[in-house]
């Protein structure tokens, strides 16, 4: 269990919905990497939380489709630094940004119609191209 994660002024994720564990990081670093568990794996069970509206859960599922684990939880890792506390803060920030992005309701596209002027310009351009092609045709001789 961890501390609650504040997303914005209205929404805070309870600490009981967040689980994290520290594991050994990969990559260069010598004995620090071999002995210290500094990589953070943070998981968030967004399906069972009551802190998020259903529409936001749907958008979060679409946004985090590559970050979902087998149980359908959002799974975020961080091994940016050698320090476990900094990596935990980084993973929490990544989750906060992801959930904040899911909370934004996308604008509905309002279909527009072409203006009268654009229709006239299109027809004029077509007639001009047609006239140019008409001059390329062979002249017919009527006998």
pLDDT 10s digits, 71-81:
878 999 998 88
In a domain, 92, yes or no: yes
In a domain, 67, yes or no: yes
| Higher-scoring residue by pLDDT: 9, 121 | 121
In a domain, 19, yes or no: yes
In a domain, 96, yes or no: yes
Phi, psi of 46 (to 5 degrees): -80, -20
Beta bridge partners of 44: 18, 74
Number of domains in the chain: 1
pLDDT range class, residue 10, cuts 50, 70, 90: confident
In a domain, 119, yes or no: no
**Residue range 104-117, pLDDT digits in tens:** 999 999 999 999 99
Q: For residues 25 and 34, what is the distance between their CA atoms, to the nearest angstrom?
A: 8
Maximum mean pLDDT: which of 1-5, 31-35, 133-137: 133-137
Instruction: Judge whether residue 143 has pLDDT over 70.
Output: no
**Residue range 50-67, pLDDT digits in tens:** 888 899 988 988 888 888
In a domain, 117, yes or no: no
Q: For the residues 72-98, what does the mean pLDDT come to?
A: 90
Instruction: Judge whether residue 122 has pLDDT over 90.
Output: yes
Q: How far is CA 59 from CA 6, 98, 136, in A?
A: 19, 10, 56
In a domain, 34, yes or no: yes
43: CATH:
3.30.160.20
In a domain, 142, yes or no: no
Per the structure, the complete domain to which residue 14 belongs is given by: 5-103
């Amino acid at each position: 269990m961890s501390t609650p994660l504040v997303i914005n002024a209205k929404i805070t994720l309870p600490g009981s919905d967040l689980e994290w564990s520290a594991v050994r990081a990969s990559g260069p670093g010598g004995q620090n990497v071999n002995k210290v568990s500094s990589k953070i794996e943070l998981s968030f069970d967004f399906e069972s939380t009551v802190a998020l509206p259903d529409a936001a859960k749907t958008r979060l599922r679409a946004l985090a489709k590559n970050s979902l684990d087998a149980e359908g939880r959002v799974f975020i890792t961080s091994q940016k630094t050698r320090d476990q506390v900094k990596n935990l803060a980084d993973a929490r920030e990544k989750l906060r940004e992801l959930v904040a992005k899911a909370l934004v309701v996308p604008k509905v596209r309002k279909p527009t119609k072409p203006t009268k002027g654009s229709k006239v310009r299109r027809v004029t351009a077509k007639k001009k191209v047609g006239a140019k092609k008409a001059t390329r045709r062979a002249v017919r001789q009527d006998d």
